[in-house]
Structure 1
Amino acid sequence: MIRISNHYISRISLLLAAIEAILLLLVFFAGAGIRFVQWGGSVAELVFDQLPGAVLFMVVVMVCMAALGMYQSDAKQDSESILLKLLPSLAMGFAIMTLIFYLFPDIYFGRGLLAIVMLLALLLILLERTIIFRWSGLDHLRSRALILGAGTSAKELLDLVEESATLQNIKIVGFVPFAAEERSVPAATIIPKISTLLSLVNQYAVSEIIVATQERRGGTFPIQELLECKICGIKVTDITGFFERESGHLRMDSLYPSWLVFGSGFNQGTLRTIIKRIFDLVVSLLLLIVMLPIMLLTALLILIEDGRPLFYHQERVGKGGKTYMVIKFRSMFNDAEKGGKPRWATTDDPRVTRVGGLIRKLRIDELPQIINVLKGEMSFVGPRPERPYFVDLLTAQVPYYNMRHSIKPGITGWAQVRYPYGASVEDAIEKLQYDLYYVKNHSLFLDLIILIDTVGVVLLSKGSR
Structure 2
Amino acid sequence: MSSQRATSESAPAPHLGGVAQQMVVPRHGAVGEDVFRGGPPYVGPVTGEPEGVAASRAGLDTTAVLPYAKSRASSRTSWLRAWMMTVPIDVAALLAPLLLSQNYWRGTLANAVLTVAIFAAGGLYRPRRHVSILDELPSIFGRLLASAAVVAIIAAERHSSVEYVGGFMRGVALSAGLVIVGRTASRSLTKLVRKRRWVEHNAIIIGSGPIGLELARLLRRYPQYGLRFVGCVDAPSRQGTGALPLSGTLDDLEHLVRLLECEVLVIADPDCLESTLMETLLLPRSSRCDLWAVPRLWGSRSQGGYPDHIGAIPIVKIGDISLSGPRWAIKRASDILFAAVALIALSPVLLLCAVATLIDGGPGIFFHQERIGRYGKPFKVIKFRSMRPVDERESQTNWSIAHDQRVGPIGRFMRRTSLDELPQLWNILRGDMSVVGPRPERPYFVEKFSAEYPTYAARHRVPVGLTGLAQVSGLRGDTPISDRARFDNYYIENWSLWLDIKVVLRTVSEVFRAGGR
Q: TM-score, normalised by structure 1?
A: 0.43
- Larger CA Rg, structure 1 vs 2: 2
Q: TM-score, normalised by structure 2?
A: 0.38
More helix by share: 1
Q: Identify the structure with bigger relative contact order (alpha carbons < 8 Å, sequence gap 6+).
A: 2
